[in-house]
Structure formats: C-alpha cells, structure tokens
Structure 1
Amino acid sequence: MNRTTLSLIAGTAALAAVTGFAAFRTPDTSGADTAEAAAQLPVERTSLLCPAPSVSDIAETTYTSFTPATKGTAASGRATLTAATEESADKTDGASKGKGKQQAAKPVLAPKAPGTPATGDTSGADSPALVGTAEGKFAPGWTVQETTEVAAGTGRGLQGVNCTAPDTEFWFPGASTAAERTDYVHLTNPDDSPAVVDIELYGKDGAIKSPVGEGITVKAHSSEPVLLSTLTEERQTNLTVHVSVRSGRVGAAVQALDDKIGGDWLAASTDPADTLILPGIPKDATSVRLVAFTPGDADADLKVRLASPNGLITPAGNETLHVKSGMTSAVDLGDVTRGEAGSLVLTPTDKAVPVVAALRVTRGKGDKQETAFIPATGPVGTRATSADNSGKGTTLSLTAPTATATVKVTASAGSGGGTAVTKTYTIKQGTTQNVDAPAPAGRKGTYALTVEPVSGGPVYAARTLAATEEGVPGFTVQTLPDDRGTVAVPEADQDLSVLQK
C-alpha cells in the first residue's frame, strides 16, 4: 500500500474520530459541480475547566451544569465535573502490582439528561479546581457556571465565572497590582502531561519585566494560582495580563479581589479585533472603567459609543480613546448608562488596529459597593446558554449593534422541576435591551436561559446575577458568546482513483 493510500485512510479516520460521521457518495458523472457546503453536526465531546473558587473559609460555591437539547445527537452520553487532581487518580493504577486502581472521588455533579440543569455545592477555602467532560448527547452546548458568595473580607460579594474550554492564549485587560487589590491568575491543566506557561504584564508604560512569569510549569491534572504581585514589584492600577502556553494547554481566568469594593472573576477578552462589543452594563452602575490594550506595533484610535435602549450615543467627554502600542490605556466613564441598559461599542476612528478590552463595573456607594467585570466578547452566533438563573436576580441583556435582530430565548425546566418556556424579542439596530426573560412554568430550583438568533444582524448578550446581602449589592456578569455546540463537517467524495497512484 503506497503513501497516498495511507494518507487517505488516515485522514478519513481522523475525520470520523472527531465527528463520528463521514459521508461517502458516488461522484456525479454529469460533469456538473457537485461541491456542497459543509454540514453542521453536533460535537461529540466537550471539555470545561473551572478554577478553584475562593481562598475564603466562608465561601459558598454552587456549580450549575446545563446542556440544551440538540437534534442529531447520540442516544447516549454522560457529563461529569471532578476535582482536577482526581482526574489523575482515576487514570492511575496502583504504584505496585496487586494494589489495583485508586478509588476516584465522587463527581461534584453528574447531569441526568439534556434540557434540565444539574447542581452541586462546595464550601470553604479548600475547594479545588474542577475538570469537566461531556460526551455524546451531553456535549453540544454544555455550559457550567461557578457562582460563589463571600459574606465578608477581601473580595466579599458575589463572584461568578463560566467554566471554559482549555486553550493556548488568553488576554486579560483590567487586572491590577494596586495595594488594595489581590489578583490571581488561575491556570488549570486537564491533560496527562505538564503544561508550560508564560505570563506577561503590560502597564501604562508598556511591558513590565518579570522573569518569574516565564516558563511556569502546571503539572498534569492540577491547578496553579499565580498571585500577580509576586511577578513584579510595580504597583499599577490597570494592567493587561497575557497568558501564552509554550506546551500543552490550560484553562485561565483572573480572580480580582478588592479590600473594600468586593471582587469578581475577570474572564478573557475575545481575540484582538478592531471592533469590540462589551455587552450588559447594569443600568444602575455608579462607575464604569474601560481598560484597553493593543498587542500590535501600531497605536489604536477607538470611537467609544454606548448602545442604549434608544440607539447609539457618544459619552460626553469620552468620544474617543487613544491606545498606544504595547501599553495599557484606561478611562473612567462614570455612570455612563444613567439608569438605562447599555453596552459599549468600540470601533476604529480611521485605521483598523486589533485591540482587547474589558470593563470594571461598580454598583452601590460608599462602603456598600461591589464590582464585576465585562470583557469584550463574541456574538451569540448560532446559540448561547447561561446557567444558574433565579428569576428576580437575573437580568438578560441583548445588543444588536449593526442591524435589527430577532432573538428567541428559552428558559429551561428548573433543576427541581418545571416546564420550559420560550419568548421571542426584536432588538432594534444600535440598541441594548434588558429583556423580560422568561422563567419556566412551575419552576423549582435554578434554570438556564438559551439565546438563539432567528433573523437579522449579529446579537451580543450578557447575563447579570444579583443578590443583595446586608445592603451590599452583590452581582456578577457573564457574557454569552456562541456555545460551539456544532462543528462544520465537509462532505467526503468517494474517489477510488487514488488507490491506483
């Protein structure tokens, strides 16, 4: 068998392994062009990583898992969320013959069926990072939310983060090494081999030298929290953190904790782009800070606009933002939303230069303040899901920056019972709407919201969870990019002529 034949077989086998599907059809002999668009098929495996939730002994954390019901999935499957270290134990036989396989720990949660949320709880400072795997019917669009309540101390309030897929590069504008801040970069390695990671810091004057941040080893099936203030002696209020992986892959998120005004998770910004959308600023925000960075060799000049319920407006005094190459820029926008729903829209004033950006949002006043972060994010795309919703404490924000869009929102059954409900909304061009999101009929427990564009332009979305404790307006915001529940699979033609070469 020659090399061409082996390559064909190997390529076909690889396609089938990834998608579980390969279509072969007899070529059309009519001479017509029979090329067809790639089919969109449900993914068969999804991996998610959840960072260790808190260093506080009084932290209470809830994990909520949800998979939207998807046509064309396998009849079977499973989804589990397990401590990262237990992944290693589950795969390790005894250290010597006769000891047998180690006992794996019980998963934090194990969903029973798509369409219904599953929840699990942990508490205290010793809760580990988690590694999640969903297969078969549980894989397409699998979403896990980590929500933590901390009653007092540094970072007190509500902290939330979507567990994310492992990757090799992350940008975090909005981090800090200021005296009042305690910021950690959490690195989680789900694989059997160590990962080697570099952490670079960029401040207002450019790159900050930090040999300590080079070549950080994250052991297999483990998590490594890296305190930013140990990487540099410089104290800067606004930093951009760049995480790049030399070998392997990791999940990464920044936990930003403030001594006085709470804290939250800072998720990675979407990849550098010349136009960015930061959706879902709470209408009662008392302070909004924009932090931006351009990794390229050219400066960026950005037009700053707010997509309000009535259209795009320009914040007075902050019409544009100049971002110097390799330097972190920040601007305080104050109470930019002025009591109305809003999303920030950044576009180039002239030359298109890729940037990353995030918002630090503050609610409340005086000693009753709480903060959260909104990174620039991608559009909803085909579908996006928000888990862990609770009726009055949930706000769903939808933005259509370039064209009017129609959107379908489905509230799942509750984790303890109920019936799914769907509503359709029209979001006018250039506006942001805090929609009256549906809740499941007869709801018991928490539920998920699934957003699906029906027609029109791209839609960006964010969900805010709010819970006021002792007068402090605790809140957290998660953006809703596409859930990547499907993958494009090209149709393969049968061509036996390659066997004769």
Structure 2
Amino acid sequence: MKRTTLSLIAVATTLAAVTGVAALTAPDGRIPTTLEATAPLPVERTSLLCPAPSSSEVAETTYTSYTPAAKGATGERSQSEAAQSAKAELKPAPEAPLAGETPPKKAKEPKAPATVAKPGAPVGAEANGAEAPALTGSANGTLAPGWTVQQTTVVPAGGARGLLGVTCTAPDTDFWFPAVSTAKQRQDYVHLTNPDDKSAVADIELYGPEGALKLRDTEGIPVPAHSSVRVLLSTLTTDPAQPDVTVHVTTRGGRVGAVVGAADDTAGSDWLPASADPAGTAVLPGIPADATSVRLVAYAPGDDDADLKVQLVTPTGTIVPASATSLHVKSGMTAAVDLPDLTRGEPGSLLLTPSDPKKATPVVAALRVVRGKGDKQEVAFIPAAAAIEGRATVADNRAKGATLALTAPGATAQVRITASAGTQGGTPVTKTVTVKAGTTTSLPAPVPDGLKGSYALTVEHLSGGPVHASRTLELPEDGIPMFTVQTLTDDRSTVRVPKAKQDLTVLDDD
C-alpha cells in the first residue's frame, strides 16, 4: 500500500476518535481509502485549563462554567434529555515545585467545582484565599461544543491588588505573550498546567528590544501530569531588567495550558492571555473610553522586519492616532510605543496593518491598558484577537458593569448576541447587532430577564466581514476603577469529518 494511502487512513482514524462518527469499514469488510468532506459535526470532547487564581490570602475567586445551547434547540426539555450522558467538570491540578524549590502547601479544592448539567444553563462556584489550585477540566457529549469557563478574582488589597479575569484555556504546544516585563516593579509569572497522564516539558524564550535574552537554564521546565507549575519570568534571565518583553512558550514533549499573571506595584494586576497566532494584520478589540494609558507591544517572530500602520477603529470610523501613526518591529525583537490620549473619550479597538500591503510580515501584539490615576490605577491587557468565525462565549457577566466591543475592520457584519439564563435564575434574551465596516460598536451587555447570579454571553457571526470582540467587566472597589478585559475566541465547536468510501484504485502500486 502506498504511503499516501496510509496517511489518509491515519487522518480518518484520528478524526473518528474525536467525533465517534466516522466509519472506516466498507460493507464487505475491506478498508475504504477514498475520503470525502462532510458537513461540520459537533466535537465530542473539550479540555480547558485554569491557572491558580492568586497567592493573596484575601483573594475572592468566582468560576462560571457554561456550554451554549445547541443551534436549533427549541426547549429546555430537549436540551436536558440530550445531556443526560454528558459531563463537564473541573478537577484540581496541584502546583508542582521547580527543581530546588520547597513544595507548596497542599491546595484546597474549590468549595463546589463548577459542573455543568445541561447546555444553556451556567453554573457558578467560589474559592477564597491563596490555596485555591489550578484546575483541569473536560466536557464530553452535548456539553463539549463551546464549553467555556471564566475565572474572576478580586484582590482588594496588597501587591497583587486588582480584578483578575481569564477565560480558561485549551491545551496547546505554542503560545506568544507580548507585553510581559521583567522590570523591578513587575512580578510576572507564567502558569503552565498539564492536563494529560504523562509529563510535559516546556521551553520558555524571552525577547527584549535587542533580541533574545540570555537564559539561566535551557533544559526545559518539567510539568508533571495533572499538575501546574508557575515560573517568575525575571528569574529565567541573566540580562538586566526589561520593561517590555515577549515570551514564547513551546513544548518539546506533551502539551500545556499557558497564561501569564502580571502584577504591577502601582497599577494592580491581571491575567495576560496568549496573543492570536502571528499574522500580518492584528486587531486588539475593546479599549475603554476612559483609558488613561495605553501601551502597544509587538514582536516579529520571522526573518523579516515588520512595518505596521497603527489605526484606531472608533464607533464612527477608522482614524490614524496622532500619538503614533506607525511602528517598526525588527525581526526577533520586541517593539513598544505609548499611545497617549488615544481614545479621547470614545471606546475603540487598535488595528495593525502592513504599511506596504504587498509585504505582510507576521507579528504578535498586545496592549497594556490603565484606567484611573495615582494610587487609584488599575491595569488590564488586551492581546490580539482572531476573528469569530462561528461562535464565541464569555461567562461570568454581572447585572452591571459588562460591556461588549465588536469590531468589523473590513466589511459590515451582523452578529447575534445571546445572554444566557443566570446561575441562579433568569430567562435568556437575544439581540441582533449590525457592525458597520471600519467601526467598533461598544454596547452594554444584554441582561437576561429576571437575572439572578451571573450569566454568559454568546456572540454568533451571522453574515458579512470578520468580527473581533472582547468583553470588559468593571467591579469598582474603594475608588479604584477595577476592570478586566477578555477577548472572545471562536469556540471551534464543530469539526469536519471525512466520509470514507471504497475505492480499489488506490491499491494499484505502480
């Protein structure tokens, strides 16, 4: 049999394992070898990883777990019946020490890990203090497509003060984090969580304005099975402290979930998720109207420099900000620029495009955004976000303080927004929104009728050009405008499965 034939069968076998629907045996028992594409089918298993929330004893953490209702579902009964054999749950992933470190205290499990019972109904849980662990989770059956978990932590005082929000991530082998820092006033940790039964080994590379930083150790970081490891980034390098650094996390064995926890002595703390994959164009959605400081950090991972045009996508159109019209990013180096008075009282999104449309050099990018002044500052991060191709969800929205930003950098687009029922009650509501070409639409998040508890927001792309989105959650505390921004990532809730049929011509070994 030819090598190509074997490869095709291997692909079909892999997809069959994921979805449980592909058949690889012909009626007469022979192995089929010709594959045809079929319509997308719902995935049957989803994995998510949540980092340890905080090292503060006064931290208060909320988890909200949610799977969107299936498209075309007509009632609660059908949803409940379909989910009888499905499960979506979170389990602790204890922190493992690095070589030479003292083992951490035994972690306490959250009081009630968020276990979803049926699609369309969010579930909440709480964990307080410094001993709440990282979590690994999986969902199968009808609870797998679009399953999401939001982790929201309030730290009212101390060095890690702030509102920290993160959408728990899927495991992967490659992550980019611009806007990290090794400066003395920053305490930036990368959290690595392994969901699998075998150990993983992660490599971390740091890139500053002059290129790669010198590392103390290049042997890789072991992450034991079903465990989490956190690494203070400033301890990895022998180079002087750098205010703007890009972190690249890869795995040489296994896979991990990765996210950076960043704390600033004056501006508070928040999570920095990974940037979208390197691309010639980047959209960073959802800069608040009252931002007092915005700093753009970008990195070019390829062999070519990137010359970027910087634009602000506002509610009325796309403009070039006076503070920075362009940014030159040298290959293998981190570039950064402050954007003072960027929003001028209007919400917006940042759009990075090639200065020369014929030369699109891939970049990764993120924004460091500050609200407030003096000792009443609060920080959040906005990484570049990929477009929503089908559907995306963000959980843990409250009756007040949740804002959606929708950006259509090219053509006009239409989306449908669904506010789910609450964790303790309420009736879902749906709203259709048109986002004009070259604009950002910022709107208070729709709230379910009779809301009790928190709820989830699902954005579906209906028609038109690409849409990028984020959710801002505001929870003011003692005069500090605490906030966090989560970009919405396509939930990839469907997969195309090849349909196999008998074709004896592939057995011809000429």
1:489 aligns with 2:501: no
In the alignment, the residues of structure 1 paired with residue 478 and residue 306 of structure 2 have an alpha-carbon distance, to the nearest angstrom, of 43
1:21 aligns with 2:21: yes
In the alignment, the residues of structure 1 paired with residue 467 and residue 202 of structure 2 have an alpha-carbon distance, to the nearest angstrom, of 34
Alignment-mate amino acid for residue 271 of structure 1: D
Q: Report 1:329-408 matches (<5 A).
A: 329-350=335-356, 351-408=359-416
1:111 aligns with 2:124: no
In the alignment, the residues of structure 2 paired with residue 344 and residue 431 of structure 1 have an alpha-carbon distance, to the nearest angstrom, of 11
Q: Report 1:84-95 matches (<5 A).
A: 84-85=93-94
Q: Report 1:81-480 matches (<5 A).
A: 81-85=90-94, 108-212=113-217, 214-233=219-238, 234-350=240-356, 351-480=359-488
Secondary structure in 1 matching 2:131 = coil
Aligned to 2:87: 78
Contact 1:362 1:369 in 2 (8 A): yes
Contact 1:277 1:460 in 2 (8 A): yes
Secondary structure in 1 matching 2:21 = coil
Secondary structure in 1 matching 2:120 = coil
Alignment-mate amino acid for residue 342 of structure 1: G
Alignment-mate amino acid for residue 57 of structure 1: E
Contact 1:42 1:70 in 2 (8 A): no
Alignment-mate amino acid for residue 299 of structure 1: D
Alpha-carbon spacing, 1:25–1:363, altered in 2? closer, same or farther (3 Å): same
In the alignment, the residues of structure 1 paired with residue 293 and residue 5 of structure 2 have an alpha-carbon distance, to the nearest angstrom, of 63
- 1:190-209 alpha-carbon deviations (Å, 9 max, x no partner): 11111111111111111101
In the alignment, the residues of structure 1 paired with residue 3 and residue 235 of structure 2 have an alpha-carbon distance, to the nearest angstrom, of 53
Alignment-mate amino acid for residue 316 of structure 1: A
Alignment-mate amino acid for residue 224 of structure 1: V
Alignment-mate amino acid for residue 241 of structure 1: V
In the alignment, the residues of structure 1 paired with residue 17 and residue 201 of structure 2 have an alpha-carbon distance, to the nearest angstrom, of 28
Alignment-mate amino acid for residue 298 of structure 2: A
- 1:443-470 alpha-carbon deviations (Å, 9 max, x no partner): 1110111001111101000000101110
Secondary structure in 1 matching 2:114 = coil
Contact 1:24 1:494 in 2 (8 A): no
In the alignment, the residues of structure 2 paired with residue 395 and residue 196 of structure 1 have an alpha-carbon distance, to the nearest angstrom, of 38
Alpha-carbon spacing, 1:52–1:337, altered in 2? closer, same or farther (3 Å): same
In the alignment, the residues of structure 1 paired with residue 8 and residue 179 of structure 2 have an alpha-carbon distance, to the nearest angstrom, of 48
- 1:47-100 alpha-carbon deviations (Å, 9 max, x no partner): 0000011111111111110100124996531001110149xxxxxxxxxxxxxx
Secondary structure in 1 matching 2:18 = helix
Structure 2: 5+ residue stretches without partners: 28-33, 73-78, 96-108
C-alpha displacement of 1:433: 1.0
Contact 2:399 2:451 in 1 (8 A): no
Secondary structure in 2 matching 1:286 = strand
Contact 1:82 1:108 in 2 (8 A): yes
Contact 1:213 1:231 in 2 (8 A): no
In the alignment, the residues of structure 1 paired with residue 215 and residue 94 of structure 2 have an alpha-carbon distance, to the nearest angstrom, of 29
In the alignment, the residues of structure 1 paired with residue 436 and residue 306 of structure 2 have an alpha-carbon distance, to the nearest angstrom, of 29
In the alignment, the residues of structure 1 paired with residue 120 and residue 468 of structure 2 have an alpha-carbon distance, to the nearest angstrom, of 23
In the alignment, the residues of structure 1 paired with residue 318 and residue 2 of structure 2 have an alpha-carbon distance, to the nearest angstrom, of 62
Alignment-mate amino acid for residue 92 of structure 2: A
Alpha-carbon spacing, 1:50–1:402, altered in 2? closer, same or farther (3 Å): same
C-alpha displacement of 1:229: 1.5
Secondary structure in 2 matching 1:277 = strand
Contact 1:66 1:117 in 2 (8 A): yes
In the alignment, the residues of structure 2 paired with residue 10 and residue 328 of structure 1 have an alpha-carbon distance, to the nearest angstrom, of 40
Contact 2:366 2:381 in 1 (8 A): yes
Contact 1:144 1:163 in 2 (8 A): yes
C-alpha displacement of 1:16: 2.3
C-alpha displacement of 1:212: 2.4
RMSD: 2.5
- 1:465-488 alpha-carbon deviations (Å, 9 max, x no partner): 101110001000000021111111
In the alignment, the residues of structure 1 paired with residue 242 and residue 507 of structure 2 have an alpha-carbon distance, to the nearest angstrom, of 64
C-alpha displacement of 1:12: 5.0
Give the aligned length.
478
Secondary structure in 1 matching 2:339 = strand
In the alignment, the residues of structure 2 paired with residue 13 and residue 298 of structure 1 have an alpha-carbon distance, to the nearest angstrom, of 39
C-alpha displacement of 1:173: 0.4
Contact 1:82 1:106 in 2 (8 A): no
Alpha-carbon spacing, 1:205–1:7, altered in 2? closer, same or farther (3 Å): closer
- 1:211-263 alpha-carbon deviations (Å, 9 max, x no partner): 32541111111111000111124211111011111111011000000111101
With structure 2 as the length reference, what TM-score do the two structures score? 0.89
Alpha-carbon spacing, 1:319–1:417, altered in 2? closer, same or farther (3 Å): same
Aligned to 1:64: 64
- 1:310-348 alpha-carbon deviations (Å, 9 max, x no partner): 110000041100011111110000131111110000000
Secondary structure in 2 matching 1:473 = coil
Contact 1:309 1:341 in 2 (8 A): yes
Give aligned-pair identity as a percent: 66
In the alignment, the residues of structure 2 paired with residue 3 and residue 323 of structure 1 have an alpha-carbon distance, to the nearest angstrom, of 43
Structure 1: 5+ residue stretches without partners: 28-33, 87-103
Alignment-mate amino acid for residue 44 of structure 1: E
Contact 2:110 2:126 in 1 (8 A): no
C-alpha displacement of 1:11: 5.8
C-alpha displacement of 1:14: 3.7
Contact 1:81 1:110 in 2 (8 A): yes
Contact 1:108 1:120 in 2 (8 A): yes
C-alpha displacement of 1:22: 2.2
In the alignment, the residues of structure 2 paired with residue 500 and residue 294 of structure 1 have an alpha-carbon distance, to the nearest angstrom, of 47
C-alpha displacement of 1:497: 6.4
Contact 1:200 1:213 in 2 (8 A): no
Alignment-mate amino acid for residue 64 of structure 1: T
In the alignment, the residues of structure 2 paired with residue 256 and residue 229 of structure 1 have an alpha-carbon distance, to the nearest angstrom, of 12
In the alignment, the residues of structure 2 paired with residue 7 and residue 284 of structure 1 have an alpha-carbon distance, to the nearest angstrom, of 54
